[in-house]
Amino acid sequence: MISLLLFLLTSKSFAYESMIVKNYNSCVACHRSPEGGGLLTTYGKVISSSTSLIKGTHKEGPFKKFINAKGKLDHAFYGRYAYIKTNGESRKFPMQGDYLGAFQATKNVEAVITIARAPKSQAISSGIENPSGSDLIFLRKAVLKVHSGSHNLIIGRDRQIQGLNIVDHTVLTKSLNRMNVSDLKTTAKYFYQGESSSFKSELFFPSGQEFEGNKEHGFASEYRKYLDDNLILGGVVLAGFGEVIKRKVVSSFFKKAISSFVLMGEYSYTYRELKLKETFDQRATLTQLSWFLNLHTEIFLRFESVRRNKYFELKEERQTVGMRMRVNPHITFQTDYKKTKRNDLEENLLISQLFFNVW
């Protein structure tokens, strides 16, 4: 069983909220999933090729046409290699390796699967003493999607509704809300994607890979309003019920593009009730400013803070400066420097990541 490993590895595959700077206020043009991330559409592959430092061309040769079964199948491999330095100690390791596949059964019905392999070091840090192959491989996604026009029904194992999709699973508005509960759930989700707004709502249930005490069921909804091509306002409500802890989450967020800059922010309030009826609440904020030097290079500043009261009192602040560059259609480099103050402790973290994909 993977348990906490899922908590560490539930980020979406390379989906960037900052694409609004290129007048994309939704994900449907470039991604097969209406929520973004994962497999690209043909148009998305063209955009990826044309907006890289070293530009490429998207062409399907005879072999690719054969393995794609004339458009019925789609495949991709996503990977990530990381170098991490914390307070003088460093390590490097393959952080992510995902196989993504899709089968187009009919015009409106599609099955999608993502099989992920986690690094052994993270399995050990999650409490698995001698991880075997079965401990490292898990389903990140396995869904059946039925769509008609702007309406989508998604059933299966998928990522939970969360608001802003920041490509960093450690952001405080997300990681501290989970509290060792996986973002990967068994879900029945409805998604509406309109021209001026989007709405999604889901019922979720345990994924089957959590510790017994961390199993959770509940519901969540998200609404986004596109005021124009460069401004989005949104909010999320979530209620989760587990054996050890119950939680209620309300959050609001925005994205605004101005010329080559993108400003985004999120505020999240979480109320928790423990098994012994003790309660505490948490308030988390995130603000990020991104500057696109050009279509392939982004520099960003991120400011985060968390306040938690009562039995789990916490005051944490984090500042991040980072750079992301799409080197070519298949390789992206990102490096972040994070400075964190948690109560009376300080931590400095440098993480450099090499993302690569084959599609």
DSSP assignment string, 174-208? HHHHHSS--SEEEEEEEEEE-SSEEEEEEEEE--S
What's the pLDDT score for residue 95? 83
Residue 182's pLDDT is 64
Strand partners, 99: 77, 115
263-278 CB burial, b ≥16 within 10 A, e <16: ebbbbbebebeeeeee
Neighbours of 327 (CB within 10 A): 16
Q: For the chain of 359 residues, list the mean pLDDT of each consecutive stretch of 10.
A: 38 56 76 80 82 76 67 88 90 88 92 84 59 73 92 92 76 62 84 93 87 84 92 95 88 93 93 82 93 91 90 88 93 94 91 90
d(CA 89, CA 136): 25
**Top CATH class, 4-358:** mainly beta
pLDDT, residue 351, reads 93
* Residue given tokens 């090499």 in the structure block: 354
Q: Which of 254, 285, 281 is nearest to 268 (CA)?
A: 285
Tell me the CA distances in angstroms from 254 to 13, 48, 205, 298, one per residue in order.
Answer: 21, 25, 28, 19
In this prediction, residue 176 carries a pLDDT of 58
